[in-house]
Amino acid sequence: MFNTFKEVEEYIKKEKVDLVDLLYCDLWGRMRHVTLSAPEFTPAVMSEGVGFDGSSVGFKHVQAGDMVLIPDLTTGFADPFHAFPALSFICNVYEADTKQLYQFDPREIVRRAEKQLLTEGIADTSLWGPEFEFYVFDQVHLKNTPELTLCQFDSVEANWGSTVNPNGFSLGEHHGYHASPPSDSYYQLRDEIVVTLERMGIWAKYHHHEVGGPGQCEIETPLLGILKAGDAAMIIKYVTKMLAKKAGKTVTFLPKPLFGLAGSSTHYHQMLKKDNLNLFYDPEGPSLLSRTALSYIGGLLEHAPAVMAFTNPSSNSYRRLVPGYEAPIKAFFSAGNRSAAIRIPKYATQPDEVRMEFRPPDATGNPYLSMASMLMAGLDGIRKQIDPTAEGYGPINENIFNWSEEKRSTIKSLPTSVESAMQAVKTDNQFLKVGQIFDDTLIETWTREKLKEAGMVHLRPNPYEIETYYNC
């Protein structure tokens, strides 16, 4: 939105802005913010930054936690959720003393990953198209105390005896895909989300009701540069949650909030370009894929278990990645097969459209780290010229869930738990450390915290467990 501080000053004066909100992403993928009074937003902010405690957000140890935020002026947007006129910026994170970019700032990690493209001469641009699936609920009740474990969702679309304004237009389980009004009760909320995003400079490709049934929705962006895609992911989640709250509803991007219904993923469409030409396209290649595309796919499938430490880092991630819900559990690619880890969209046939889609990821991952890890795996495949067809990664255009267990076992499995994904990245991480994109400290910090989170989940009994074994 802005290129210079002078432009920002003029905008603040013209629009009578009262507040400047500084947004940033912590290590775990959650948005944080600090708000300045507009008169405090001086040129010194651009040189000295605004101080904060990095130890509270996963960046630093408490004894050396001082860091600063410096806004990226190109990300500025009018924030509609403040009571007074507010201008928001996504910030870069810097060391407090040297004013050097912090190496583990998620935005800096994706910048370094894309610079690796240029360094190796492979491509000059990576393009990303995230698909955001989420559930809208009208009521949520959560409680975790020694005597009570409660997790109750309700939706006006539910067919399980909803108590919230039943209208007779409920959606059956697995019957929500592209549902139309009045069965689709949330289309106006999605309309408001995408229009609000467009006014903030983030365009949506489309939105629709998803297959899961009550409340499941999807918003997809067009292909974006990797940094822009990461920023868009943060803002889309923010806007979606805030507008749902404004409407008296709640949104979750949790991979598997409801047992027996489709989970929510964050698929990533991917493409590399050089000199504005799509490197993944070859009119004579299988499914129009070039050798570069196949090698990229080979690298991503080869390193998929390690990549999933970043793209699927929660215990809930692996409640979604189970047979029967169009969720991938095996490392293979296919044209159009939605049970594949990598899908080649059949409808994308033009030279500037041919791409691949990695389907395991979900929104519990940090979007910047997720994309950086996928990109580094793909580049490793190109570097080593990995042939996915020779490695047994496909293409497989059959429903593997109709195969025998013995036949299915011939395909490399994806992780089935947080522990297996974290173990994978501990043993397979050299591809991440090329160009110092990731390092041992980051990998160790990430895996330690995610294993700790999973451990806290495993410590707690759940109602089904108690029901099953109560009469032991």
Mean pLDDT of 308-327: 92
Tell me the pLDDT band of 165, cut-offs 50, 70 and 90. Answer: low
Tell me the pLDDT band of 186, cut-offs 50, 70 and 90. Answer: very high
78 closest CA partner among 5, 4, 18, 3: 18
pLDDT at 71 over 60: yes
Q: How far apart are CA 298 and CA 386, in angstroms?
A: 5
Which residues are part of the catalytic machinery?
53, 131, 133, 210, 218, 267, 338, 357, 359
pLDDT at 129 over 50: yes
Given this model, what pLDDT does residue 404 score? 87
Tell me the pLDDT band of 323, cut-offs 50, 70 and 90. Answer: confident
Are 340 and 332 a contacting pair, CB within 8 Å? yes
Tokens encoding 285: 């290649």
Question: Which fold does the domain 113-469 belong to in CATH?
Answer: Creatine Kinase; Chain A, domain 2 (3.30.590)
Could you tell me which residues come within 8 angstroms of residue 17 by beta carbon, excluding any fewer than 6 positions away? 11, 38, 85, 86, 87
pLDDT at 162 over 70: no
Q: Which of 210-214, 245-249, 339-343, 387-391 has the lowest mean pLDDT?
A: 210-214
Given this model, what pLDDT does residue 211 score? 86
- String of b and e for 194-215 (b: at least 16 CB within 10 Å)? bebbeebbbebeebbbbbbbbb
187 closest CA partner among 222, 167, 157: 157
pLDDT tens for residues 428-471?
Answer: 999 999 999 999 999 999 999 999 999 999 999 988 998 999 89
More confident residue, 76 or 404: 76
Mean residue pLDDT across the chain: 93
How much of the chain exceeds pLDDT 90, in percent? 80
CATH for 5-102 is 3.10.20.70
How much of the chain exceeds pLDDT 70, in percent? 97
pLDDT at 303 over 70: yes
pLDDT at 164 over 70: no
Tell me the pLDDT band of 163, cut-offs 50, 70 and 90. Answer: low
Q: Where are the domains of the chain?
A: 5-102, 113-469
pLDDT at 326 over 80: no
Mean pLDDT of 297-307: 98
From residue 369, how far is each of 108, 377, 446 by CA, in Å?
10, 12, 11
Given this model, what pLDDT does residue 62 score? 45
102 closest CA partner among 172, 26, 6, 31: 26
pLDDT at 161 over 70: no
